[in-house]
Structure 1
Amino acid sequence: MDYLHSPNFPARVEELIKKYHVPGLAVAIIEGDRTFSAGYGLASLDPPKPCTPDTLFDIASSSKSMTAAAVGLLVRDNDKHPDVQYDAIVSNLLPGDFVMPGQGYTEGVTVEDILSHRTGMSRHDDSYLSQRAAKPDDARSITRNLRNLTISTPLRSKFIYNNMMYTVAAYLVEKKSGLPFADFLQERFFGPLGMSSTHLQPKRARASGLGDRMAQGHTWNEEEKRYISFDASDTIEGEGAGSIITSANDYIKWVKALMNREHPIDDEVYKGLTKMRTLVSPDSDDLEPMTSPVMYAAGLEPALLRA
């Protein structure tokens, strides 16, 4: 059944996007071998442009699953990259670039530590410079600046979400594959999966002639009762952590590959991505019956927690 075009569903979506001040959204659902998708509301307000399943969005941290999978491909391709393993020490893979402050961290942080937010370093989101800066950061400079930051907790003692470590992962992919991260994603994921509208960074999407399909960003000003709109901007300093531009119709192909373990996601890569590594909230005392605390794997929170 095509739930997205049922009599009541569109009306319910319209009700919710008004309630929560979301100008527009797109939805895609897999049911067996079939995929359904639809768009609701507006992708931009001035000029008004309807949101469709082919509207392009910056998917932010949903990009992390592809970064983790990119590392997973290196781990799987043992003949080409025998040194890249989940338990490999990152500083051995990126000598001179990956240096952590504090005793034991440079020598101890592994690949799966950076993919599961357990390095002991807090977010430090204000420590890196965007493309508007005189000297913008990139994946290498983000990696090399870790030595100048501070540690918050002992290694592997606590889940601390950290975008920079996913940028380190993107840099690792570049160094080991010899490809820019955008080209690696195109060659290993976007191309094979037929994600023809998906790119890393808005600039590449616009250069491919897709600028007219990109959604604007919006924030709601409660005091003035209006939206503030802005165009998507390049965030080179955030590659690996975010910055993928895609549509509901394209991204569902990635979701389907993950769900069904289809090329390029084989059993080995899938197991590496879904291995539960870190308790997000170990002290949870208000859990629903028949549930467990949330676990983090590698760019994913596996849906394996409900009995």
Structure 2
Amino acid sequence: MLFSTPATPYTLFYTGSITNSMTAAALSLLIDNSSDYSNVTWTTPIPRLLREDFILGGEWSLNHITFEDALRRRTGYPRHDLAVTGSARKSLRNLRNQPMSAKPHARYQYCNKMYGAVGYPIETLTGSRLGDSSHSDLLQHHGGIHLAPHAVASDVEGPGSLTLSTVLDYAKYLRVMMREADPMSKAGLRELKTPRMLTALHPRSFVGYANYALG
């Protein structure tokens, strides 16, 4: 957006990492829909669904890194932001060439590529881009959040880590989360909001320790 362009509730902005929350919510909807996606749970190892694409360092990581691990940022992988490959699948496959900087489950490490690792199987299972599935399932009930399919930046980190949306649409999304409304289930919302990982070993001034949930 140019600085001379007036901002309105309908102006599209890059939402950046706020997209992570919606990716986690989209996965929650798949888990709730167990009749169609019985092989997807929070603790499903991602390589089980992406056997050829999601290959990490070491046999243990290959068999144990789950959706929950990726969403709570405890896979052992750092950001690797400069490892841009040009597509979601290439980004995932390139993780085998990127070093880990901690043992899995040891500590919180911000890594958007792992949200691509969550978004990509959602697209594979549903047969539609993440923007399409999030829009149709998650937010049409409340006027619809505009996750334009052409705006999902799969060439940066993979689906699930960056998109375009509007202030109005994200306000609707926040209303779903705050009111704990349909189509999200109570169980799914509980999983999304439960604190799981300290983001730092030392408390921040005035706010104390920060705990990361899912997304």
- Does 2:211 match 1:295? yes
Name 1:170's counterpart in structure 2.
Answer: 119
Deviations 1:101-128 (A, max 9, x none): 1341111111100111100011111111
How many residue pairs get aligned? The number is: 214
Deviations 1:175-232 (A, max 9, x none): 2222222221221134333136442444x8xxxxxxxxxxxxxxxxxxxxxxxxxxxx
Q: Distance in 1 between matches of 2:123 and 2:2?
A: 35
- Alignment RMSD, CA only? 1.9
Q: Distance in 2 between matches of 1:49 and 1:144?
A: 39
- Does 2:101 match 1:152? yes
- Does 2:179 match 1:257? no
Any conservation in 2 of the 1:86–1:111 contact (CA below 8 Å)?
Answer: yes
Name 1:182's counterpart in structure 2.
Answer: 131
- Larger radius of gyration, structure 1 or 2? 1
Any conservation in 2 of the 1:120–1:152 contact (CA below 8 Å)?
Answer: yes
Kindly indicate which of the two structures has a greater share of residues assigned to helix: 2
Cα distance, 1:235 vs. partner? 5.1
SS at 2:2 equivalent: strand
Any conservation in 1 of the 2:132–2:147 contact (CA below 8 Å)?
Answer: no
Kindly indicate which of the two structures has a greater share of residues assigned to strand: 1
The verdict on how the C-alpha distance between 1:54 and 1:114 changes in structure 2, with shifts beyond 3 A counting, is: same
Any conservation in 2 of the 1:167–1:241 contact (CA below 8 Å)?
Answer: yes
Counterparts of residues 239-250 of structure 1 (less than 5 Å): 239-243=159-163, 245-250=164-169
Name 1:212's counterpart in structure 2.
Answer: none
Any conservation in 2 of the 1:89–1:108 contact (CA below 8 Å)?
Answer: yes
- Does 2:45 match 1:89? yes
Any conservation in 1 of the 2:123–2:129 contact (CA below 8 Å)?
Answer: yes
| Structure 1: unaligned runs, 5 residues or longer | 1-42, 130-135, 205-233, 300-307
Amino acid in the other structure paired with 2:186: D
Name 1:280's counterpart in structure 2.
Answer: 199
| Structure 2: unaligned runs, 5 residues or longer | none
Amino acid in the other structure paired with 2:74: R
Cα distance, 1:285 vs. partner? 4.6
Greater RCO (Cα-Cα under 8 Å, separation 6 or more): 2
Q: Distance in 2 between matches of 1:241 and 1:250?
A: 17
Amino acid in the other structure paired with 2:187: E
State the TM-score, normalized to the length of structure 2: 0.91
Q: Distance in 1 between matches of 2:50 and 2:145?
A: 32
Any conservation in 2 of the 1:122–1:162 contact (CA below 8 Å)?
Answer: yes
Any conservation in 2 of the 1:201–1:236 contact (CA below 8 Å)?
Answer: no
Q: Distance in 2 between matches of 1:263 and 1:50?
A: 33
Any conservation in 1 of the 2:145–2:172 contact (CA below 8 Å)?
Answer: no
Name 2:155's counterpart in structure 1.
Answer: 236
